[in-house]
Amino acid sequence: MSKVEVKVEFETITPLWTGDAWMENSRIRPSSLIGSLRFWFEVICYFSGICDKKEFDISKGRFEKDIKNDEIRKKLLDYGTDFNGQVQALRELNIPIPAIVFGTTGWRSLVEIKGIQPLEDYCFGNKLNLPVKFCINKNNPNQIQEGNNYPQRSNNTYSVFYFKITYFWGKFLVIFEVEQDIKNTIFLPLLTFMDKYGYWGGGWNIGYGRSKVLSVNGQNNTLKVKEFDFSVFETNRKKIKIDSSESKTDNFLVKIDSKENLIKSELRNIILFKESNCEQDIKEIIKKLIKEKSILRRSTQEAKNRHYLFGKTGNIQGEDLPQGSKIFPYINKLNNNSYECGLLSIAGILSLYE
pLDDT tens for 163-182 read 988 999 999 999 999 999 99
Say what the pLDDT of residue 222 is.
65
Of 243, 277, 311, which residue constitutes the final position of a domain? Answer: 243
- Give the mean model confidence (pLDDT) for residues 209-229: 87
- 154 in any annotated domain: no
Distance CA 328, CA 310 (A): 9
Cα–Cα dist 19/37, whole Å: 16
The mean pLDDT of 51-71, rounded to a whole number, is: 89
pLDDT surpassing 90 at residue 96:
yes
- Please work out, in degrees rounded to the nearest 5, the angle formed at the alpha carbon of residue 16 by the alpha carbons of 13 and 343: 55
Do 236 and 252 lie in one domain? The reply is: no
pLDDT tens digits for range 234-265? 767 688 988 865 545 457 888 888 888 898 87
Residues 219 and 79 in one domain: yes
Number of domains in the chain: 2
For residues 273 and 238, membership in a common domain is answered with: no
The pLDDT assigned to 302 comes to: 75
Instruction: Choose between 115 and 257: higher pLDDT.
Output: 115
Same domain, 174 and 285: no
Residue 65 and residue 108 in one domain: yes
C-alpha dihedral sign at 90, 92, 98, 104: negative
Q: In a 10 Å sphere around its CB, with 0-12 CB exposed, 13-18 middle and 19+ buried, how is residue 238 labelled? A: middle
For helices 69-78 and 83-92, give the axis angle rounded to 10 degrees: 130
H helices within 263-320, ranges in order? Answer: 282-299, 303-310
Clarify whether residues 93 and 219 are in a common domain. yes
Task: Tell me what the mean pLDDT of segment 114-121 comes to.
Answer: 94
181 & 44 share domain: yes
Residues 308, 291: Cα–Cα separation, whole Å: 19
Question: Could you tell me if residue 198 is inside a domain?
Answer: yes
**What's the pLDDT score for residue 291?**
92
Mean confidence (pLDDT) of the chain: 88
* Nearest by Cα to 227 from 200, 282, 271, 190: 190
Looking at residues 305-318, what average pLDDT do you find? 69
Q: Which domain holds residue 344?
A: 244-354
The C-alpha atoms of residue 115 and residue 177 are separated, in whole angstroms, by 9
Please tell me whether residues 237 and 279 are part of one structural domain: no
Residue 139: predicted pLDDT = 85
36 in any annotated domain: yes
Q: Is residue 152 part of a domain?
A: no
Q: Which of 42-46, 50-54, 114-118, 237-241 has the lowest mean pLDDT?
A: 237-241
